């Protein structure tokens, strides 16, 4: 294996595949990145057997071959190389020689033949999604994925495509996030993708200048393709919860509120929740005013927010974290909050359109 590339190209490629590399593994070879030249193309690849990332490295090929190099070491070296051409040559005993300007490294590697292959995904049917839409859909739902593994299927997000409408759905038992976009594709899809895969995809799409991401899937695997980069991930097994039936369709109180105002007031109110676990803040809607209160051993806070109300006055309490998490990802200026009773979920909807639906369960509390 022998090729010439640039410091920037190498840095970019190592950055992309590095995050699939496992930090704690019982297989030392998985701490490495595979460098491989085959079919006149230079590939870099990292995997922890749950997710695999492969990317094409542009360069001038002199001879083919493969080797596995410590991901940590190669990324530190590449970061510090001068901005110049990099000449990479595989020597005997899996030693990789790296020359760049007045700098020369010889690094002990491992045989590339021992590195696991990425599973094949039949990509006859590819679904194209505009990259910015895809990124937004991850960002605006991923916080609602379940953090603990009590219900394994909830540690991923449902990706659903039907009649050209793509939906990302995350839910953790206390809240639900649904984000949708129109992509005009007749294919049907209903698969659950692990949270980690989505957060890596978010990171990789942020590094890429491509306009579109392409998805395809087989029974157990899903493949995302973004230019010369492929991300393969296992899918979560099992049936996702029927989220549609838990979204209330009616309301008795509907409130229009400025998102930034409500976020700032909720954040301030949350400073007084004290050391209790529920992070309780109390909301009182009446006469076009929302009053948010919180109190604990450290003190009390009262916030007033102007709102536009329709329907009945209402007192309700939330875990402040759940309200703050949702408000942080809504980029609209205003939002609708819909309520029925103090013990029923609150639904957040856009003023126009139906790009998103968020649901938060309230906390029951005793009025003093």
Tell me which of 85, 89, 210, 267 binds a second copy, using CB under 8 A: 267
Beta carbon of residue 348, minimum distance to a second copy (angstroms, whole number): 21
Question: 59, 5 in Cβ contact below 8 A?
Answer: yes
Beta carbon of residue 184, minimum distance to a second copy (angstroms, whole number): 43
Buried b or exposed e, range 147-171, using 16+ CB within 10 angstroms: eeeeeeebbbbbbbbeeeebbbbbb
Q: Using the rule CB under 8 A, is 325 a contact of a second copy?
A: no
Nearer Cβ to a second copy (109/136): 109
Q: Using the rule CB under 8 A, is 111 a contact of a second copy?
A: no
Q: Using the rule CB under 8 A, is 173 a contact of a second copy?
A: no
Nearest to 216 by CA among 154, 295, 167, 159: 159
| Interface region with a second copy, contact rule CB under 8 A, candidates 132-140, 179-187, 264-272, 340-348 | 264-272
Beta carbon of residue 69, minimum distance to a second copy (angstroms, whole number): 9
CA-based Rg of the chain, rounded to a whole angstrom?
25
Tell me which of 4, 29, 56, 73 binds a second copy, using CB under 8 A: 73
Q: Which residue has the tokens 């495509």?
A: 161
Q: Using the rule CB under 8 A, is 153 a contact of a second copy?
A: no
Nearer Cβ to a second copy (76/237): 76
Q: Using the rule CB under 8 A, is 341 a contact of a second copy?
A: no
Q: Using the rule CB under 8 A, is 262 a contact of a second copy?
A: no
Tell me which of 106, 150, 252, 331 binds a second copy, using CB under 8 A: 106
Question: 47, 53 in Cβ contact below 8 A?
Answer: yes
Q: Using the rule CB under 8 A, is 82 a contact of a second copy?
A: yes
Buried b or exposed e, range 283-300, using 16+ CB within 10 angstroms: bbbeeeebbbbbbeeeee
Q: Using the rule CB under 8 A, is 81 a contact of a second copy?
A: yes
Q: Using the rule CB under 8 A, is 103 a contact of a second copy?
A: yes
Residue 246: phi and psi, rounded to 5, are -95, 0
Tell me which of 184, 277, 297, 367 binds a second copy, using CB under 8 A: 297
Tell me which of 301, 330, 348, 359 binds a second copy, using CB under 8 A: 301
Q: Using the rule CB under 8 A, is 303 a contact of a second copy?
A: yes
Beta carbon of residue 70, minimum distance to a second copy (angstroms, whole number): 7
Q: Which residue has the tokens 């039907």?
A: 162
Beta carbon of residue 142, minimum distance to a second copy (angstroms, whole number): 24
Q: How many residues at the interface with a second copy, by CB under 8 A? A: 30
Chain centroid to CA 295: 34
Residues 6+ apart with CB under 8 A from 280: 273, 294, 317, 318, 319, 320, 363, 365
Q: Using the rule CB under 8 A, is 145 a contact of a second copy?
A: no
Tell me which of 272, 309, 326, 363 binds a second copy, using CB under 8 A: 272
**E-only strand ranges, 21-174:** 32-38, 41-47, 51-57, 60-63, 65-70, 85-90, 95-100, 103-108, 110-111, 127-130, 156-162, 165-171
Nearer Cβ to a second copy (96/215): 96
Chain centroid to CA 351: 25
Point out which residues bind a second copy (CB under 8 A).
Answer: 70, 73, 76-77, 80-82, 95, 102-108, 264-265, 267-268, 271-272, 297-305
């Amino acid at each position: 294996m022998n090729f010439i590339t640039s410091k920037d190209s190498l840095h970019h490629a190592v950055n992309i595949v590095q995050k699939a590399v496992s930090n704690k593994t019982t297989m030392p070879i998985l701490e490495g990145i595979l460098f491989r030249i085959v079919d006149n193309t230079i590939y870099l690849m990292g995997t922890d057997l749950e997710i695999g990332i492969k990317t094409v490295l542009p360069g001038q090929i002199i001879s083919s071959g493969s080797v596995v190099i410590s991901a940590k070491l190669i990324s530190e070296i590449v970061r510090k190389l001068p901005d110049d051409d990099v000449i990479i040559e595989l020597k005997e005993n899996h030693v990789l020689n790296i020359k760049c300007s007045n700098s020369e490294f010889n690094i002990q590697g491992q045989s590339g033949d021992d590195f696991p292959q990425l599973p094949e995904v039949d990509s006859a049917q590819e679904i194209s999604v505009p990259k910015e839409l895809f990124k937004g859909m991850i960002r605006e739902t991923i916080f609602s994925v379940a953090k603990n593994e009590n219900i394994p299927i909830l540690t991923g997000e449902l990706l659903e495509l039907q009649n050209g409408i793509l939906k990302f759905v995350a839910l953790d038992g206390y809240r639900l996030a649904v984000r949708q976009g129109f992509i005009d594709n007749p294919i049907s899809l209903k698969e659950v993708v692990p949270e980690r895969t989505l957060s890596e995809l978010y990171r990789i799409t942020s590094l890429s200048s491509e306009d579109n991401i392409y998805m395809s899937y087989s029974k157990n695997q899903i493949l995302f393709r973004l230019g010369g980069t492929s991300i393969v991930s296992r899918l979560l097994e099992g049936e996702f919860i029927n989220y549609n039936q838990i979204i209330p369709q009616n309301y008795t109180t509907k409130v229009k509120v400025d998102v930034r105002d409500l976020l700032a007031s909720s954040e301030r109110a949350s400073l007084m929740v004290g050391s209790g676990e529920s992070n309780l803040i109390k909301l009182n809607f009446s006469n076009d005013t929302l009053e948010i209160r919180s109190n604990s051993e450290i003190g009390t806070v009262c916030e007033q927010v102007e709102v536009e109300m329709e329907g009945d006055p209402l007192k309700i309490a939330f875990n402040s974290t759940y309200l703050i998490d949702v408000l942080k990802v809504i980029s609209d200026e205003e939002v609708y909050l819909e309520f029925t009773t103090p013990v029923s979920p609150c639904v957040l909807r856009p003023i126009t359109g139906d790009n998103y639906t968020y649901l938060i369960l309230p906390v029951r509390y005793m009025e003093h």
